[in-house]
Amino acid sequence: MSGIDLASLARRVELDTSVVERMAHARDLWPRSTLSLVEGALPPSPALVAFPADEEQVRAALDWAVVNRVAVIPWGAGSGVCGAAAGMAGSLVLDMKRMARVGEVDAATATVRVQPGVLGQHFEDALERQGWACRHSPSSIWCSTVGGWAASRSAGQFSSRYGKFDDMVAATRVVAPARTYRTGLWCDGADLHPWVLGGEGALGVITELLVRVVPVPGARWLRGYRFPSVAAAWTAMRELMQAELHPCVLRLYDAVDTRVGGRGKGARSSPGILKGLTTLVTGEMSLRLPLSLPRLLNALARWGGEECVLVAGWEGDPRVVEILSRHGHDILTREGADLGAEPGEHWYAHRHDVSYKLAPIFSRGAFADTMEVASTWSRLPQLDRAVRAALGEECFVMAHYSHAYREGCSIYFTFAGAGNLDVYDRTWARALIAAASAGGTVAHHHGVGQAKMEACAREMAGISKAFHELKRDLDPLGILIPGRLFPEVDLPNPAAPAPSLDPLSQVATLPAQQGAPERDAALAREGWALRYPTELPLSRSLAGPRPPWDTRLLGASVIGDDGRRVVFVDVPRSGAGPDPRASFPARAYETVTVPIVRLADDAFTVDTLAQDVRPARRVGTGWEIRGPAAPELARLCQVPETST
């Protein structure tokens, strides 16, 4: 960086310009960059790495970068898989791990202040010493940071009960080149909370977070089930989630993943030829031969049968766990065979192992990657077929289904192929188009980065204008991750979705400006009611409070100030960048897709909630509990707590 004054920055922030440090921060774990390295191409090298110890040093680094017109890349632990944290040539990388303080839990609000550089497992350990837990548990928990979770809207393995990490973040402090600001509960002006979470550092560097926490679970119940097919297991998963039974984990492996993963008593042994081929894929020898015949390999995998394994679990207050797991077990054994506790306990003990198994595949002549998509239950089969077929053109494919919600579920594909960057890029291009065409989100929890920029810009078509207006205000020179997130895409103005009702997914697309009496009467005639009752038009009630494990707004069509329509895909928990669905003026909304409940289902209203009892909705001054466990949970809520 000839001609640039590094000494002035070095006096305020610790710097490192060594080749080792710069190369260590040149990329994250995006498999494409690993494949490039195997082919002999080094990643672009940042010019220097800074290690700020507090917010003042972050400000100093940004001020210096503005004066010297240097790109800035915020960096947590480098475990992202989409290229979001990859350094640019000549850039300044801000390694945030020196900012690693965890505060004291405020028991009255069940929140804790934490700095962004804390590694995930260290965060959970610090909370546990105080009797609390975050329960955000991505497979990368040992090598990812709290700030990275927020920046990418990460989802952990217990999201079905606790929500994604952006649901857990109540407030942030953010340092941008133009100013420092606060969001959420700390907001002191226009609230940019929905834009910062998922913004991957483009709108500022998060320097502190207020995170919602829960008491350390008092009990845990885990079990495995064998199902005759994925479709049968999906039905059980959907029924369980819509029965308001709130499992902490619901994780289904397709038939191939069940066999390749060796999931105990989960399925019958593979036929000999398939067993031999999968040994090649997971064994020690070269992968080029088996993976050069992906269609044959996938066909043989399907020939092995359809049996699959589902892991289910509950945790929390022992009384609640006993009630929920008993009713959940009843649903899961209607078509599933009980495999006992071993598959669940084994998964729990090894739930973080996957993060360390992909790299050796590259050294053996192949590539491996993962893709996480999501959709409503009604569209999940077509999403699964479309993406699986697109990936299967040139890759061996398997999948598991996790992050299940009342309205839908995520699909996590794992795929391996032989070839070069051209094969890799073709595979991703086909799969992203297939996911979008099937009505799914192209990103559920891995973030956007470089891998999905254009696909996410298409999915969120129309918000790039608002996003870039915010960026110009906060980062006038565009030094923060320049060129990443929401490139301009030329798309026709989409049509507004027609009003509709999806009983399988328990969602309805409704006119946003319609009066409450007419809207509620129309729903009632079909046997349904809003999950979040309101006497207002839905356009004026979207930003209301909701529990972090629940969804208030799945999709919307909005008319922007420029007259163009923005249509947000109606999927549960899309992770395609920031989520501004509920951030537009009320007048802008045309339609909204919201969760609904069936009027015919039994419901019990209580005045107070026992620990770990999750209500279906707020009604008047009380709470409504629904589902097969509702009578027992309602009685539990009416029993006074006893001290020990």
pLDDT in tens, 490-517: 777 888 899 999 999 999 999 999 999 9
> What's the whole-number mean pLDDT along residues 184-191?
92
Mean per-residue pLDDT over the chain, rounded? 91
Confidence of residue 262 (pLDDT cuts 50, 70, 90): low
User: Which phi and psi angles does 206 have, rounded to 5°?
Assistant: -70, 125
- Taking 90 as the threshold, does the pLDDT of residue 3 lie above it? no
pLDDT of residue 274: 38
Eight-class DSSP state of 34: H
Q: How far is Cα 108 from Cα 72, in angstroms, rounded to an integer? A: 38
Q: If you write DSSP's letter for every residue of 123-146 in order, what string do you get?
A: HHHHHHTTTEE-----TTTTS-BH
Fold of 500-598: 3.30.465
> What is each CA distance from 7 to 10, 12, 19, 71, 514, in whole angstroms?
5, 9, 18, 18, 62
Of 131-145, 323-337, 495-509, 555-569, minimum mean pLDDT range: 555-569
> What's the whole-number mean pLDDT along residues 59-73?
97
> What's the whole-number mean pLDDT along residues 206-235?
97
pLDDT in tens, 557-566: 999 888 888 8
pLDDT in tens, 25-50: 999 999 999 999 988 899 999 999 99
Q: How far is Cα 458 from Cα 479, in angstroms, rounded to an integer? A: 24
Q: How far is Cα 584 from Cα 102, in angstroms, rounded to an integer? A: 34
CATH 3.40.462.40 positions along the chain are 219-436
Q: How far is Cα 573 from Cα 88, in angstroms, rounded to an integer? A: 30
CA atoms within 13 A on the CB side of 69: 1
pLDDT of residue 300: 76
Q: Which H or E run includes 591?
A: strand 589-598
Tell me whether strands 72-75 and 214-215 are parallel, antiparallel or unpaired. Answer: unpaired
User: Which phi and psi angles does 342 have, rounded to 5°?
Assistant: -55, -45
Q: Which region, left, alpha or beta, applies to residue 466 given φ > 0 means left and ψ of -120 to 50 means alpha?
A: alpha
Q: In what order do the strands lie in the sheet with 622-626?
A: 603-606, 622-626, 617-619
Eight-class DSSP state of 586: G
pLDDT in tens, 617-633: 988 889 999 999 999 99
pLDDT in tens, 264-291: 554 443 444 334 444 545 454 455 555 7
Instruction: Give percent above pLDDT 90 in the chain.
Output: 75
Q: How far is Cα 327 from Cα 441, in angstroms, rounded to an integer? A: 31
CATH 3.30.465.10 positions along the chain are 111-215, 500-598
pLDDT of residue 275: 43
Fold of 7-95: 3.30.43
Torsion of CA 543, 544, 547, 552, to 10 degrees: -60
Fold of 111-215: 3.30.465
- Report whether 203 contacts 175 (CB < 8 A): no
- Report whether 236 contacts 328 (CB < 8 A): no
pTM, 2 dp: 0.93
CATH code given to domain 219-436: 3.40.462.40
Q: Which two tokens stand for residue 71?
A: 């790109």
Please list the residues that pair with 399 across neighbouring strands: 413
- Report whether 163 contacts 548 (CB < 8 A): yes
Q: How far is Cα 159 from Cα 139, in angstroms, rounded to an integer? A: 12
> What's the whole-number mean pLDDT along residues 208-223?
97
pLDDT of residue 273: 37
Length of the chain counted residue by residue: 644
CATH 3.30.43.10 positions along the chain are 7-95
Q: In what order do the strands lie in the sheet with 92-95?
A: 15-16, 48-50, 92-95, 72-75
Side chain identity at residue 105, one-letter code? V
